[in-house]
Amino acid sequence: MNAESNTFQYSRVRPSIFWPVVMIVVGILALWLPVASSIGVARLLGWLLVFDAVFQLIHSFRSEGVGHVAWKVLVALIFLVVGIYFLVHPLLAVALVTLALATFFLVEGVVDVFSYFAARETRASHWILLNGIVSIILAVMIWRHWPTGSLWVLGVLVGVGLLMTGVSRLMIALAIRTYLKQTGRETGGNLRAA
C-alpha cells in the first residue's frame, strides 16, 4: 500500500509538456498573424470588461449605503460602455491599448532608472538599469509608430510573451522530468496536467 501511495504521489508531480507546447504554437501563430492577434486581444479585453460590468452591477446591490451602491453602479456602467465600445470598434481599442502599453513601459522604465540610482551600490543592480533603459526604448519605439504601428505591436508583444512563457514552462517541465528520472521517481508514461 505504501508503494502505491508513493507511485501515485510521484506521478502527480510529473509535469505535462502539452500546455507549454500549446503556448509555443499559439505564440508562433500570434507572431505570424500580429494584426489578427492584436484585434483578438482587443476583443478579449472588451468581453472581459462586459463580463466584469455585469458582475460589478450584481455586486453593487449587495453593498450597503446609497453612496456605495451608486459608485459601484457607475463603475459597472463605465466598464460596460468601454467594453461594448471595444467590441464595436476593435481597431480603436487596439490603438488605445497600445498607447496605454507605451505609457506603462515609459513609467516602468523611469521608475527602474531611478531605482538603479537609489540602489546602485547593490550587487547586480545594473540589471535594473538595463531593464529600465530597454523599457524606455520600447516605449519610445511604440510611441514613434503610434497609431499606425498599433495593429502589429500588441500582437507581437502577446506572441513573444506566449512564446517565451511556453519555452520557459517547457524547459522547467523537462528539467523536472530529468530530475525525477535521475532520482528514480518517475512512473508511467502518461502525461499529467501541470
Q: What is the pLDDT of residues 34-51, one digit of tens each?
A: 999 999 999 999 999 999
CA 69 vs CA 51, 79, 82, 99: distances in Å: 18, 15, 20, 32
Contacts of 40 (CB under 8 A, 6+ apart): 155
The answer to the question of residue 13 being in a domain is no
pLDDT in the model for residue 48: 95
pTM of the model: 0.68
Q: Report residue 8 CA to chain centroid gap.
A: 33
Number of domains in the chain: 1
3-class SS shares of the chain: helix, strand, coil, % to 5 = 80, 0, 20
Contact between 148 and 94 under an 8 Å Cβ cutoff? The reply is no
Residue 63 lies in a domain: yes
Q: pLDDT tens digits, residue range 97-123?
A: 999 989 999 999 899 899 888 877 777
**Average pLDDT in the chain:** 83
Whether residue 82 lies inside any domain: the answer is yes
Residue 4 in domain? no
* Domain residue limits at 124: 23-182
Whether 18 maps to a domain, the answer reads: no
Q: Is residue 11 part of a domain?
A: no
Instruction: List the grid coordinates of 97.
Output: 491599448
